[in-house]
Amino acid sequence: MRQIPRLFVAERLEPGALLDLADSHAHYLATVLRLDRGGELRLLDDITGEWAAEIAEVGRRRVTVRVGAMIRGRETVPDLWLLTAPIRPERFEWIVEKATELGVRRIVPVLTSRVNHGRLKPERLRAHMVEAAEQCGRTALPELADALKLDALLAGWDAGRTLLFADEEGGADMAALAPKCPAAILIGPEGGFSTDERAAILALPAAKRLGLGPRILRADTAVVAAIAQFQLFGGL
């Protein structure tokens, strides 16, 4: 049985609306999937939810679709943020993809003294988020924030949001911390935090040291492990 394609669009959806899809969406539907008039698809707008739709017209560079009935509303996303230092571009794209699949609300790239890959491409990262959400059945996208220096992040921290600091020197496991939203997970760069940075994080009243097991994990592995553990033990 052929899987019905799911696509995020920029427009707010409503029943009966006609949308012209161009560029990559049109190419995907008409050339890759070879869909024609009457072909089924699902549309998502990250505002209202997921809608049934069908292809009304296929042109040379454009596909027109008609919106049908809403299938389900936009999901409620727990107020969990991922704060993570940029690493190599392909690995950071993987982090963004997996964080989207696992269901964080906000992703904040954090610039530290040992970050070697600070040049980000937001549009490329958003494309990875959209593709991940389309494929894993999500109806909401995380917010991708602008990169922020660690000192600025800590200076503006909301005392009501728990900061789970994945500390290479150890900490309590997630089950013992049993955190609740609003919360954030902070993962450092490949070289770890400097001594001064670590001290500044631990000086924050909302910070809690989090241990992720007996091994020092790669940054991308630590992200997935921490989010998965939060979902299991965080009272979601």
The pLDDT tens digits of the residues spanning 44-55 come to: 999 999 999 999
The verdict on pTM exceeding 0.85 is: yes
The rounded distance, in Å, linking the Cα atoms of 52 and 17 is 11
When pLDDT is averaged across residues 199-216 and rounded to a whole number, the result is: 93
The CATH number that applies at residue 33 is 2.40.240.20
Is 224 found in the same domain as 131?
yes
Is 94 found in the same domain as 185?
yes
Is 66 found in the same domain as 89?
no
Question: Across the strands, what pairs with 67?
Answer: 53
User: Residue 116's pLDDT is what?
Assistant: 76
Q: Is residue 185 part of a domain?
A: yes
Is 195 found in the same domain as 115?
yes
Say yes or no to pLDDT of 226 above 90: yes
Among 73, 88, 116, give the residue marking a domain's end.
73
Tens of pLDDT, residue by residue over 158-183, are 999 999 999 988 899 999 999 999 99
* pLDDT > 90: percent of the chain: 84
The rounded distance, in Å, linking the Cα atoms of 57 and 231 is 43
Tens of pLDDT, residue by residue over 137-166, are 999 999 999 999 999 999 999 999 999 999
Say yes or no to pLDDT of 118 above 90: no
The count of C-alpha atoms lying within 13 angstroms of the C-alpha of 226, restricted to the half-sphere facing its C-beta, is 35
User: Residue 236's pLDDT is what?
Assistant: 62
Say yes or no to pLDDT of 1 above 60: no
Q: How confident is the model at residue 119 (pLDDT cuts 50, 70, 90)?
A: confident
Is 168 found in the same domain as 57?
no
Domain count, the chain: 2
Q: Is residue 1 part of a domain?
A: no
Is 125 found in the same domain as 215?
yes
Look over the chain and give the mean of its residue pLDDT values, rounded to a whole number. 93
Structural domain harbouring 56: 6-73
Is the link from the previous residue into 109 a cis peptide, with omega within 30 of 0? no
Is 88 found in the same domain as 63?
no
Tell which wins on pLDDT, 188 or 234. Answer: 188
Is 211 found in the same domain as 120?
yes
Tens of pLDDT, residue by residue over 61-116, are 899 999 999 999 999 999 999 999 999 999 999 999 999 999 999 999 999 998 87
User: Residue 104's pLDDT is what?
Assistant: 96
Q: How confident is the model at residue 200 (pLDDT cuts 50, 70, 90)?
A: very high
109 close to 91: Cβ distance less than 8 angstroms: no
Is 199 found in the same domain as 88?
yes
Among 20, 48, 73, give the residue marking a domain's end.
73
